[in-house]
Amino acid sequence: MIVGVKVGLVNLKEFQVLCMHAYQFYMKRLFASFICLLFVFPVFASGEPVSFEKVFSLSKEDVEAHWQKSKIPTLLARISNGIDVMEMVYTSQLPDGTPVLASGLLFIPRGYTKRKPAMMVYHHGTDLQRERKINLKGEQTICMVFAADGYLVLMPDYFGLGKGPGMHPYQHAETEAQSSIDMIRAVRKSKDKINLETDERIFITGYSQGGHAAMSTHKFISERHKDEIKVWASSPMSGAYDMTGVQSEVMYKAYSHPGYLPYLVFGYNPIYHFFENPSDIFAAPYDQTLPPLFDGKHSMDEVNKAMPPVPKDVFKPEALQAFENDPNFPFRKALEENNVFNWAPNEPVMLCYCEADEQVYYKNAIVAHKAMKENGSKNVRLRNSGKKFNHGQCAVYASVYTKYWFDSFRKGSKKGRKGDPFKLFILEVAKKKLVKAG
């Protein structure tokens, strides 16, 4: 059932939001800048809720029907409660302090009585199109699996996607983390609106780009906000953590998703300012054909089709040579800044991967695990979610392993356990059937 309930702001906050928009889009105009400086910045705070809209309300029976339609076995994905799905807009800020609006989805457990619901942040994979549909498919179904068993799930859109303005800074660690941290803050300030008390500790996970974002969020919380936000455990899944190392190898061979490379360049440029004109770095004809595809309206499939099979071939030879030989080349420096494997988490971390992943090289997880152990982390583990699964198949099984691992903490484990042996046996049988079916 679709519901249309909106929770608005007082007029002052509505005016602040209008000013933020004015600042972002017209900051070069003196009058708008003056108005925003006068009215926004003295009262602006990051992590403030702006609006809520309930878009779906599903009873426990509705969830059971959805599981049946999606062919999700209840034996492996328990249903303990119904779910409300809400769209949320909140305030955040760019690394330079510029205020920005951000958005995301909340999957709220209703009728869960076993204990306080756990809060979990789920970071979604690569999306180029700004508009986000709410269809309860794909990764939204993964969020539902957690929410149907007592997890309050936050799914941030990231900056520049969903309701947020501007270009999405793809695979940019600080903005990925900031969007998540401020969504946590905004949800905590809105408990009266969502009518839910949760456990104060946070679980963190995500897949593909979401694996990188999950690692970024845990890292930035650990380094900057550990007194404010307590992480229970994290499970980054199939993320490109080593951007300048093992993941960069895909530039030099035929690759299933070559469009990821220009997405990085165009996404980073507003922050790092590599070029004023695309022809400064991109070879013809790509300097002309690629820019129009990054307007937030085109899909990754369209970008992939516009690319050469080998990603590096979009660069001018001199730009590629500088990337390879000059350690201070701006794009290389930006990638290095967004590596997120070389740190030491204090909380438990499980790194899920699949060896046959054709999009994110599985050795990202191996490199991160080795670095974290060498840096002194005591509870970091690897989870091979399937030796023969591709990127899409891997997401399903990595998410199930992650849920079972998170569940064990809620049941009292300090270091985390794999899960119920019988369920794991059934899961292995299902995996073998999938491999056999091809």
The predicted-structure confidence for 322-331, as pLDDT tens digits, reads as follows: 999 999 999 9
pLDDT band, very low/low/confident/very high, at 437 (cuts 50, 70, 90): low
pLDDT band, very low/low/confident/very high, at 3 (cuts 50, 70, 90): very low
Are the beta carbons of 154 and 183 closer than 8 angstroms?
Answer: yes
Distances (CA, A) of 383 to 57, 346, 401: 34, 19, 8
pLDDT band, very low/low/confident/very high, at 435 (cuts 50, 70, 90): low
For residue 41, pLDDT over 90 is answered with no
Query: CATH 1.10.260.160 spans which residues of the chain?
Result: 253-337
- What pLDDT is recorded for position 438? 57
pLDDT, tens digit, for every residue of 253-285?
A: 999 999 999 999 999 999 999 999 999 999 999
Instruction: Note the pTM of the prediction, 2 decimals.
Output: 0.90
CA 410 – CA 149 distance, rounded (Å):
12
- What pLDDT is recorded for position 115? 87
Distances (CA, A) of 231 to 201, 218, 220, 428: 5, 7, 11, 29
Q: What is the mean pLDDT of residues 52-65?
A: 95
Helix H or strand E encompassing 6: strand 5-7
- What pLDDT is recorded for position 197? 86
CA 206 – CA 344 distance, rounded (Å):
19
CATH 1.10.3720.10 is held by the domain 5-10+47-242+343-437: no
> Smallest Cα–Cα separation from 125: which of 213, 253, 185, 45?
213
Least confident span in 24-38, 57-71, 302-316, 344-358: 24-38
CATH 1.10.260.160 is held by the domain 253-337: yes
For residue 12, pLDDT over 80 is answered with no
pLDDT, tens digit, for every residue of 357-416?
A: 999 999 999 999 999 999 999 999 999 999 999 999 999 999 999 999 999 999 999 999
CA 172 – CA 162 distance, rounded (Å):
17
CA 93 – CA 238 distance, rounded (Å):
27
- What pLDDT is recorded for position 36? 44
- What pLDDT is recorded for position 290? 98
pLDDT band, very low/low/confident/very high, at 194 (cuts 50, 70, 90): confident
Residues ≥6 apart with Cβ < 8 Å to 380: 345, 348, 349, 350, 351, 369, 372, 373
Q: What is the mean pLDDT of residues 345-349?
A: 97
Q: What is the DSSP string of 221-232?
A: HHHH-TTT--EE
- What pLDDT is recorded for position 45? 84
- b vs e for 144-154, b when ≥16 Cβ sit within 10 Å of the residue's Cβ? bbbbbbbbbbb
Phi, psi of 405 (to 5 degrees): -70, -45
Least confident span in 287-291, 340-344, 381-385, 430-434: 430-434
Helix, strand counts (H, E) of the chain = 15, 10
pLDDT, tens digit, for every residue of 121-148?
A: 999 999 999 999 999 999 999 999 999 9
| DSSP state for residue 107 in the 8-state scheme | E
> Smallest Cα–Cα separation from 50: which of 6, 2, 83, 94?
6
Q: Look up residue 195 and give its two tokens.
A: 């009518």
**In what order do the strands lie in the sheet containing 349-353?**
5-7, 49-58, 82-93, 99-110, 151-156, 118-123, 202-207, 231-237, 349-353, 380-384
Q: Which residues pair with 99 in a beta bridge?
A: 93
Distances (CA, A) of 35 to 14, 20, 44, 91, 367: 14, 10, 13, 18, 49
Phi, psi of 108 (to 5 degrees): -105, 120
CA 285 – CA 259 distance, rounded (Å):
15
For residue 22, pLDDT over 80 is answered with no
- What pLDDT is recorded for position 42? 43
Torsion, CA 14, CA 20, CA 22, CA 24, rounded to 10: -150
Comparison of pLDDT for 13 and 188, the residue scoring more: 188
Query: CATH 3.40.50.1820 spans which residues of the chain?
Result: 5-10+47-242+343-437
Residues above pLDDT 70, as percent of the chain: 89
CA 436 – CA 131 distance, rounded (Å):
37
